[in-house]
Each structure stands twice: as C-alpha cells, then as structure tokens.
Amino acid sequence: MAHIVVIGGGPAGLAAAEALAAGGCAVTVVERMPTIGRKMLMAGRGGLNLTHSESLERFLTRYGVARPWLEPALRAFSPDDLRDWAAGLGQPCFVGSSGRVFPQAMKASPLLRAWGARLAEQGVTILTRHAWTGWDGPGRVRVVSPHGERVLAADAVVLALGGASWARLGSDGAWTGLLTGEGVELAPFHPANCGFRTDWSDTLRARFAGTPLRGIALTPESGGPTVRGEAVVTARGLEGGAVYALSALLRDRIAAEGQARLMVDLRPDMTEAALAERLVRVRGRESLSNTLRKALRLPPVAVALLREGPDAPPRDAPSLARLIKAVPVTLTAPDSLDRAISVAGGVRADAVDARFMLRALPGVFVAGEMLDWEAPTGGYLLQACFATGRAAAHGVRDWLQEGGKERYPSCP
C-alpha cells in the first residue's frame, strides 16, 4: 500500500487526504497548528460560504486568467459535487438570497467534526503541531514537533500549505523558501479580496472608524464594473464586500499608477434629478447635515464622506446631487497581506503539470491557495481549494499507477 504524506490540514489538504484514502492509499496529514481547519473555522463565523449556486459556466469565469488550468479540477469536483459531499457528512446546504451556498448549521464546526470522523474511519493519520521543514533524502519528509524532529517515509507528497494571509491561522507563506531552493518558480504574493488605505481626515477617522456604508455602489474612476453592496470605513481606509469585489483591479491600478480613485454612489437607486428635487424641497435654512438627513436619509458617516474633499460640498442642489452619486475616494495602497482574505501569487501554472505535480520535483503535488490564482469571495475560494486538493490526489494515484516512483527514484 502506497503511503502519501499530505502537508497542510486545511480544506485542500483534507480533501486530498480523503480522496487518497478512498483510493486505497495510507495517508498521513501533517499540520503545524494545534488543530485542523482553522481558517475554515474562521470563515464559518460568517456562515461558511462553501460555494455558489450560479451556472458552472458563469462560475468558471470568476477565476479570470487562472481558469484554463483550474477548469478541469472544477469540472471534476463542481459546486453541485461539493453540496452533495457536505450532505453526505450530514450537513445539507441551502442557497441564500445572493446565490451563495451555506450549510444549514451556518457554521463550520459540525462539518469539520463530521469530516474528521470520516477521515479517522478511513484510517487517515493526522499529526498536529508538526511543521514541515523539508526533505531528508529521497522519499523522506522531515517534520518537527514539540517532541523533536522525525522523518516520514512517503511514496508521494501533497503540499497544501495555504497562501500568505492570516498567518496566525497557519498560512504564513514560509514554505516559499523551501520550494524556491528546489527550483520551483513562484509568483510573488499580493493581497486579494482586501481592503485599501486612504488618507482620511483625523475627524472622519476618529468618529467613524468601523462604521459601515450600506446600500452603496462603487465604480473605479478610470473604468471597471460597478459593484453594489456594503463597505466599512476603517482607520486605514475602506474594506468590505463591495471593495473586495474590485480588489484585483484596484490593486493592479495602484501598482501601475501609484493610486486609484473609487467613486462612491451613496444613493444608487436614485437619479441625480430625483436627488436634486428632494434636496430643493428641504434646503431652505437647514444645515447641510440636516438637509441630507431629511431629504435623503443619509447617515452621518455618508455626510462625513461628502466633506472629505479639499473643497466644501457644493451648496446648489444639482451639484450636490452630482457629488452624492460619485464621491471620490483616493486609494493609496492595498491593506497588508496578513489582513487580506486571500492572496494572489504562489506556485505558477507552468511550474506544475496537468496533475498538479511540480515539474521540478516529481512525486510532489500542490493544491489550494499555494497555487497562483485568485477569485472573489462568494464560495469561489473554498470551491477551488476542495477541487484542486482532490485533483492533486487523483494526480498522485495516476502517477503511482504509471510507475512514477520507479521512474523517478531520486524524487523527494
């Protein structure tokens, strides 16, 4: 029986372990944190958005330039397959009003417990508090634990170590040095699904940090889609779902031009003319704040945003209406990698073959956020982690059946 070592106990690694064990392999999962699935548990605080219910063709477009090399894995383990898998663990799912798919329990812990029980029944060994430190010769994986260093014999290895965000949950990107030292080509990490920094006034920062801007629409000034939803004013700038949906475009624009301007529509359901009409009815001797509150029910944070420019908001109704429909916010930098929900960068597409095996290291496969892809929030991140984990597992089995271990006796 082939023994496979899976390094990383997140969704990609556990998906690989499950598929390998189901295929008759002995599997050991190495996880440096005290428990498995810590990022999954964090995601579960918001309901655990597993995947999305839109058509598969539409779903695949969410991966942008990474679609061609991820598509086979996503078709082999589709959003419908993920929902069936969750139901098989006693965690049926439902589709929310946005099309996002959640377990009915609306949290990750029941799903993770059931998954762990299945892996135990399959005979999968899980070593927590064990950190991978490299190889100790052909087919020998070196790990270190609180009890010292040990070496695990492996017929193949699956790496599922995550990206470089949320280091405290286990994804710190420290593996990059080990792979570059072996000749694996990596793309640099960049924050994805992230917030952005801007130079707020001291007044706005002090009064409104942590305050949501609800029911708005965001449009990049120099072109791009309009996204409706919610953002949150932070001490550093802006974050939230509507911002994350534009993060790749805004990040790349800042990299190219040094900054990006985002136009905030505070009342996307109303035209300029309708706004101006309401403002005229109320203005009279009222202050700007009272006018905006009475005429348009704008909350204080929205009024503060209107005051952020170098000039005072215009007094005449048509100009004020025009500003309400497009409040400019200058973004100066993405927020830090560790605050990003996910990352772009990692193992390049041309560094792996169709089975997700590293070309530089035959017998070593990679999956999940280690790979150089990005996608928006909405279930696309977890889906690709599950799908590439299972694809890497099938790649391992195919490679072994083809005699890969015998043809590459010097592989790590």
Residues 16, 111 within the same domain: yes
Residues 328, 393 within the same domain: no
Residues 53, 181 within the same domain: yes
Q: What is the pLDDT of residue 42?
A: 84
- Give the mean model confidence (pLDDT) for residues 381-395: 98
* 412 occurs within a structural domain: no
Q: What is the pLDDT of residue 407?
A: 54
* 385 occurs within a structural domain: yes
* CATH code, domain with 83: 3.50.50.60
Residues 330, 352 within the same domain: no
What lies within 8 Å, CB to CB, of 146 at 6+ separation is 129
Report the C-alpha gap between 93 and 83 in whole angstroms.
6
Q: What is the pLDDT of residue 411?
A: 46
1 in Cβ contact with 359 (< 8 Å)? no
Helices 272-282 and 317-325 pack at an angle, to 10 degrees, of 130
Mean of per-residue pLDDT scores for the chain: 93
* 274 occurs within a structural domain: yes
Report the C-alpha gap between 238 and 327 in whole angstroms.
14
Residues 118, 10 within the same domain: yes
Model confidence over 189-248: pLDDT tens digits?
Answer: 999 999 999 999 999 999 999 999 999 999 999 888 999 999 999 999 999 999 999 999
Model confidence over 327-346: pLDDT tens digits?
Answer: 999 999 999 988 899 999 99
Q: Is the pLDDT of residue 410 over 50?
A: no
Look at the chain and report how many structural domains it folds into. 2
- Give the mean model confidence (pLDDT) for residues 313-324: 92
What lies within 8 Å, CB to CB, of 98 at 6+ separation is 378
Q: Is the pLDDT of residue 408 over 60?
A: no
Model confidence over 113-164: pLDDT tens digits?
Answer: 999 999 999 999 999 999 999 998 888 999 999 999 999 999 999 999 998 8
Q: What is the pLDDT of residue 309?
A: 82
Sign of CA dihedral 347, 64, 394, 407: negative
Domain encompassing residue 352: 3-191+340-407
- What one-letter code names the amino acid at 75? R
Sign of CA dihedral 349, 355, 361, 366: positive
Report the C-alpha gap between 389 and 122 in whole angstroms.
17
Residues 392, 359 within the same domain: yes
Residue that is last in its domain, among 312, 334, 356 = 334
